[in-house]
């Protein structure tokens, strides 16, 4: 249990689940209070858990389907953590005036076992965001779900990583999408707490 709550690595995405990762748990800190959590999903189901032991708080949400689940989780977690533990869950999303970012290095295909993400630039005036991320099943998961598209808006750009906020529509909660490169130049996108290498 101690190893599960001890930092093993820092996360490229500091917001979605936690800034660090232990043996199995995402680790976070809200207003100085240390916590842990994990999310899970399968077809038609989403699950969330956040716990702050020193405040005696654990919040679990189990859902059946529906694109609104992330927003419900965020609202529920924010309200209960403030009311019952006196801590503020951090917010995430783009600024009113997002920074200008060269999106050229990020477009292309990112692939891992069973999943393909295709990132394309949006035409000016096409709507929210500057990039689209299309997520679909391939190989053994081909055709198991309809492709999903997130519209990406820049949040920050540093030499180490570029952060975007993504959502499918204005009813969705914003989620972080982080682009970065390893020392050997291999490019990755960190999306949904998973790292996926650029393949083309």
Same domain, 71 and 122: no
pLDDT-based confidence at residue 96 (cuts at 50, 70, 90): confident
- Are 47 and 63 in contact, with CB atoms under 8 Å apart? yes
43 and 117 within one domain: no
Q: Are residues 119 and 44 in the same domain?
A: no
pLDDT of residue 66 exceeding 70, the answer is no
Any domain includes 191: yes
Indicate whether 133 belongs to any domain. yes
Judgement on whether residues 192 and 114 belong to the same structural domain of the protein: yes
Residue 86 phi, psi (nearest 5): 70, 25
* Residue 119 exposed, middle or buried by CB count within 10 Å (0-12, 13-18, 19+): buried
Q: Which domain holds residue 163?
A: 104-197
Q: Which of 30, 54, 85 is the last residue of a domain?
A: 85
Please report whether residue 93 resides in a domain. Answer: no
Assess whether 128 and 71 both reside in one domain: no
Residue 97 lies in a domain: no
Q: What is the pLDDT of residue 50?
A: 96
| Shared domain check, 188 and 110 | yes
**Looking at 85, 115, 130, which one is the last position of a domain?**
85
Residue 90 lies inside a defined structural domain of this protein: no
pLDDT in tens, 23-51: 999 999 999 999 999 998 887 888 999 99
Spatial contact of 50 and 58, defined as CB atoms under 8 Å apart: yes
* Whole-angstrom Cα Rg for the chain: 17
Instruction: Note whether 30 and 68 are same-domain residues.
Output: yes
102 against 17, higher pLDDT = 102
Do 35 and 81 fall within a single domain? yes
**Looking at the 3D structure of the chain, how many domains does it have?**
2
Q: Is the residue at 185 inside a domain?
A: yes
Q: Residue 148: inside a domain, yes or no?
A: yes
The 10s digit of each residue's pLDDT in 144-165 is 888 989 999 999 999 899 999 9
Q: Could you give the percent of the chain with pLDDT greater than 90?
A: 65
């Amino acid at each position: 249990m101690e190893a599960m709550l001890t930092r093993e690595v820092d996360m490229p995405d500091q917001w979605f689940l936690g800034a660090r990762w232990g043996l199995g748990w995402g680790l976070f800190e809200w207003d100085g209070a240390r916590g842990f959590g994990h999310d899970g999903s399968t077809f038609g189901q989403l699950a969330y858990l956040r716990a702050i032991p020193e405040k005696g708080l654990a919040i679990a949400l189990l859902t059946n389907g529906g694109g609104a689940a992330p927003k419900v989780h965020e609202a529920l977690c924010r309200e209960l953590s403030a009311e019952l533990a006196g801590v503020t869950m951090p917010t995430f999303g783009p600024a009113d005036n997002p920074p200008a970012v060269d999106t050229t290095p990020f477009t292309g295909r990112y692939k891992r076992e069973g999943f393909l993400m295709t990132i394309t630039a949006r035409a000016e005036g096409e709507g929210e965001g500057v990039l689209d991320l299309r997520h679909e099943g391939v190989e053994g998961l081909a055709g198991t779900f309809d492709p999903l598209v997130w519209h990406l808006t820049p949040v920050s750009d540093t030499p180490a990583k570029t952060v975007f906020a993504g959502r499918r529509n204005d009813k969705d909660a914003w989620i972080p999408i982080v682009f970065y490169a390893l020392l050997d130049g291999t490019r990755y996108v960190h999306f949904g707490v998973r790292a996926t290498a650029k393949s083309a």
